[in-house]
Copies of this chain bind each other. A is one copy, B any other.
């Protein structure tokens, strides 16, 4: 029990496996081991830390999950920089678990997507434009709703990339993942949504080509409003929780 008269805080001793994880994490964060470099073998780490194999393995698992360590197909350990999509899917998961509503999702996206569109118009290069147009071309030919929504998300991710702001890029991803399944439902119930979606994408790219930031932002806003109108036609609750989207966790690779 904690006595109010106690003079000292209890001494916290982190389990060895945590210390192992922290030590490795420090090495990586402080740049002493860099991206792509091999981490020693397990036996090596056992030797350095002076703990048991099992303990090292538990420590490694901690980092493996957070994406700071990767295994290639030979199962060797490499240092890796956490990939955006890995983080994004965790954030999406948390959002779903916290039962956020479509309203929250939409309002946040309204702000963030508009900002990326503006940034994209300001910073797009000719190459960027080509990439965006290529995306639109593939979208026009998309057969299934699955690929269409896939490409729609890719478009928004591209816009974020073109905006050259990786903070916004990372901020929009979780929401992007959560929009996908709903867009599929919208496309199914509101057939015109497809052409309106494409139209908006085209206008946004046009604005980017002309470096028209206001136009890009304007069309992105319209695009988002369209989504909302479509959503309301599906009969789902705007203030209801976003449901779970199950996605396969990626295997070691």
A binding-site residues for B, Cβ under 8 Å: 12, 14-15, 17-18, 22, 25, 29-30, 54, 57-59, 61-67, 81-82, 84, 87, 90-91, 93-98, 100, 104-105, 107-109, 111-112, 115, 119, 164-168, 170-171, 174-175, 244, 246, 249, 251-252
Contacts and interface: CB of A to CB of B under 8 A. Distances in A.
Nearest to A17: B61
Contacts of A98: 81, 166
Given A15-B252, A66-B90, A82-B94, 17 more contacts: A29-B93, A29-B244, A57-B58, A63-B65, A67-B94, A81-B97, A81-B98, A87-B87, A87-B90, A87-B94, A90-B90, A95-B167, A108-B168, A108-B171, A111-B168, A112-B112, A167-B174
Contacts of A249: 18, 22, 25
Q: How many copies does the complex hold?
A: 2
Given A91-B87, A252-B18, A165 B58 contact: no
